[in-house]
Structure 1
Amino acid sequence: MKDALGYWRIGTLFRCRLRRFWTEQWKAWRTALDWTVWVYFVLPLLWIGGGTYVDWWHHPPDWLTRLPMVSGERLTLAVVFFGRLRTFAEEADVLFLLPRRRWMSGILTRGMAYTALSLLVMSALVYVLMLPFFVAVHHFPAAQLLVMLAYTWIGAGIGAVSRNLIEARFGGLRKWFVKTATMLMLAAAYLAPLVLLGGTPMDLLAPIIAGAAVLFGLLRAKLRARDTFESDVRQEQLARLASTQLLLRNVIERRPRIKLSRPAVLRRSNRIFKRFSGDTILAEMIVKAFIRRLPLVRMWFFFTLASTAAVALSPAILQPFIAVAFMLLLSTWVISHWRGMIAEPFFRQFRWQDAVLRGSAGRVRFWLVAPAAAFFGLFGGLSAYGPVGMLEIVPGVLIWLLLSKFITSSMLLRMDREGE
């Protein structure tokens, strides 16, 4: 037993996990890259791609010579944005290794070294692929390319560590905002020295030193962090399954993910209509279901935005007719959503009367199209008659109120009668 325990060291455990990771990746890719794929796809692609690459060295195409320098420098942002910090943390570490800070710090330090080596290889590969642009077209010296490679390598390390910390410290919508803001700031800080100072190798020396200092501070904060273990385990699981998900993305049918978090709007089940009649309650449930589904709201928003622009750009004499056409078109889509909700098993278990169905359809149709009618009148009147024309928002909503009352509901009840 003592001999078995003495065999395991920090370096031995890290090498074992690293070897297992690459064995899993090789087994996953070996199932897809059989000899037919190599003969018919991989080898011809390498042959054609290699020939094109060599030809660009000697005879750069016209579009490559006309490409500005800024475009080539922006392509290196791919390494900065997609780098991932590997910690090689596992779920069982919470029982045995997490209480031992020296072991966790040792594995994390080796994971950082592995990440640095991986990012260096990725950065070098990007610059090798872009050598015809930098050397054959713009005649960059070797010293300049090495300095740019070091600069990109440090930027990729900053991006990888910062994303790891953000994944652990934030959640939900706030994580998305913080990650987006951080990536925008990192992109600006990365591109500004390349565009403004990247004339000679010495121009990037100060940004490299500053970036190395920032990277050292982030690595130190990561080593001292005590609340990132669960996030590290989740990110490691995603890293191990990345190849499998890529190979099986079109093979396995994805089941809808169950979200247990509350929606962004209407987070509480409060009433939105005052009446307690059957048609009002049914309409309220369908309207809430519509508003709480982000894809439906997004589609409604873009349709209303495009329709409002079409109404505002039309002649004043045609605006009412075009607005009515868009109202009816949006009403058809809303009623299709109403039909889908009524066909759900939860709603079909109730014996709704025809008057209740007709009343709920009218309420859903009116309240989901009325905001669009208000936009049509507001911006259509503003474009045709100036600020005074904004008062057309009132007749716009009234026109839709009259249309909604006169639209027949016979087609809406046909589906319910067929199901009985």
Structure 2
Amino acid sequence: MRDLAVNWRVGTLFRRRLKRFWAEQWRAWRTALDWTVWVYFILPLLWIGGGTYLDIWHHPPDWLRQLPMWTGERLPLVVVFVGRLRTFAEEADVLFLLQRRTWGRGMMLRGAAYTAAVLLFLTALVYAVLLPFFVAVHHFSAATLVTMIVYTWAWACIGAVWRNLLEARFSGFRKWLVKTAVLLLLAITYLIPMIYWGSSPARLLPPILIGAAAFALLLRVKLRARDAFESDTQQEQLARLASTQFLLRNVMERKPRIRLRRPLLLRNSKRIFKRFDGETLLGEMIIKAYVRRFPLVRTWLAFNLLSAVGLILTPAVIQPYVAIALMLLFSTWITSHWRGMMAEPYFAQFRWPDAVKRKSAGRVRFWLVVPSAGLFGMICGLKAYGAWGLLAIVPGVLIWIVINSIVTSTMLLSDRKAEEA
């Protein structure tokens, strides 16, 4: 009887929190979905969309017939990527819920069941949209579609629990790296069986059983986790505020989040350059501020990667000109970053002379772009001269030195003209 009472209490608590969550979401959306929105936007959209869907079902257009099979097999992957485990944890649970392991397990299992139900609904919705492609064009049977839905649902549940575990155990760059690796692993393990055995329900059953076993194993790991309460409360708070943030995204001004985490690079306040003149000190501070911000470093890496791929695909005749254009483009972004840093209150409180500012901009621009210049020179040399082309890193850096001095001179001339005016 005691266990029944505990289960009843846990179930009542879960139902109350679930009811309160949907009441909050409805109140948020009710402020935006008044009768004018329903009459002039939503109902006409549903009418037109429903008519278009029925027309595609009865008369599939040519573009739908020409789509390859892998298009319909890969689109449901979005459900695998968006799933999030709901635990309905609150900060006040630390007072009593964590002291009763049966209560915590009961809430977690009910949250997992709710997450699975929501993901099943989303999976069925995606396949309902794709029904004209699978049934009207490729004539899939009902058993095949049900098997594909169950398979996608299993992998979506795996992704939801797995991402929840990663949120609690990693932070910073490691969390971004591990989550990216997990997304790639989920995509590979989902797509390979779907592409090869998606049209055969019998062959897709073993991957479904493997997925169900993996989901049960991850859920068991989640139930035994002892250091995930703070992460669960943060994720639940974001889930409750998701609708409000979406509706007010263009109304409320976002305040920057203050993170007291050690940077990945240059963690200690040591000098980079030996000189103590003004332009060296100012340039060093801005370079440190740049390198210590992971979003900027990630953008820097992405630009170099995309530029390198584009340069490799460029004909050898125009490669040097494309490399110079990429250097100029990159230097423009670095200059805008320098101007933004100079406008911050910390740097603005110092009265730097104009000459010091210009030379510091050239120093920042040089050191942040010189690795790209060397990479671009090496790519151009390899394509033109083979292995000996690796030595082209030297002329690439020399060309960048000349470009950087010209850009600095141009800034100096433009500033003089502004002062004279």
TM-score of the pair, normalised by structure 1: 0.85
Q: Aligned ranges for residues 56-135 of structure 1 at < 5 Å?
A: 56-135=56-135
| Cα gap change, 1:58 to 1:240, in 2 (>3 Å) | same
% identity of equivalent residues: 64
Matched residue SS, 1:153: helix
Question: 2:258 & 2:234 partners in 1: Cα distance?
Answer: 18
Residue-by-residue CA offset, 1:85-107 (whole Å, 9 max, x unaligned): 11111110000111011111112
Shift of 1:166: 1.6
Q: Which residue of 2 aligns with 1:231?
A: 231
**Aligned residue type for 1:52:** T
Root-mean-square deviation (CA, aligned residues, Å) is 3.4
Asked if residue 309 in structure 1 is aligned to residue 308 in structure 2, the reply is: no
Shift of 1:382: 4.3
The answer to whether the 8 Å contact 2:7/2:106 transfers is no
Q: Aligned ranges for residues 120-269 of structure 1 at < 5 Å?
A: 120-269=120-269
Shift of 1:338: 4.1
Question: 1:371 & 1:304 partners in 2: Cα distance?
Answer: 12
Q: Aligned ranges for residues 25-64 of structure 1 at < 5 Å?
A: 25-64=25-64
Residue-by-residue CA offset, 1:279-307 (whole Å, 9 max, x unaligned): 32222223323333456556666379749
**Aligned residue type for 1:57:** W
Matched residue SS, 2:233: helix
| Cα gap change, 1:412 to 1:216, in 2 (>3 Å) | same
Residue-by-residue CA offset, 1:22-74 (whole Å, 9 max, x unaligned): 11111111111100000011000110111111112211111112222221121
Question: 2:386 & 2:164 partners in 1: Cα distance?
Answer: 52
With 114-123 and 32-41 compared, the bigger mean Cα shift is at: 114-123
**Aligned residue type for 2:158:** I
| Cα gap change, 1:33 to 1:275, in 2 (>3 Å) | same
Shift of 1:253: 1.8
Residue-by-residue CA offset, 1:359-416 (whole Å, 9 max, x unaligned): 5345345434544444454444444445445444444544554665675474486599
| Unpaired segments ≥5 residues, structure 2 | none
Residue-by-residue CA offset, 1:244-299 (whole Å, 9 max, x unaligned): 11111122121222232233322222111112233322222233233334565566
Question: 2:7 & 2:206 partners in 1: Cα distance?
Answer: 46
**Aligned residue type for 1:96:** F
Shift of 1:343: 4.3
Matched residue SS, 2:252: coil
Matched residue SS, 2:134: helix
**Aligned residue type for 1:274:** K
Larger Rg: 1
Question: 1:413 & 1:153 partners in 2: Cα distance?
Answer: 61
Shift of 1:137: 1.4
Matched residue SS, 2:90: coil
| Cα gap change, 1:271 to 1:107, in 2 (>3 Å) | same
**Aligned residue type for 1:221:** V
The answer to whether the 8 Å contact 1:197/1:203 transfers is yes
Shift of 1:337: 4.4
Q: Which residue of 1 aligns with 2:286?
A: 286
The answer to whether the 8 Å contact 2:88/2:107 transfers is yes
TM-score of the pair, normalised by structure 2: 0.84
The answer to whether the 8 Å contact 1:311/1:380 transfers is no
**Aligned residue type for 1:219:** L
The answer to whether the 8 Å contact 1:312/1:379 transfers is no
**Aligned residue type for 1:126:** V
Shift of 1:141: 1.8
| Cα gap change, 1:312 to 1:389, in 2 (>3 Å) | farther
The answer to whether the 8 Å contact 2:168/2:228 transfers is yes
| Cα gap change, 1:212 to 1:263, in 2 (>3 Å) | same
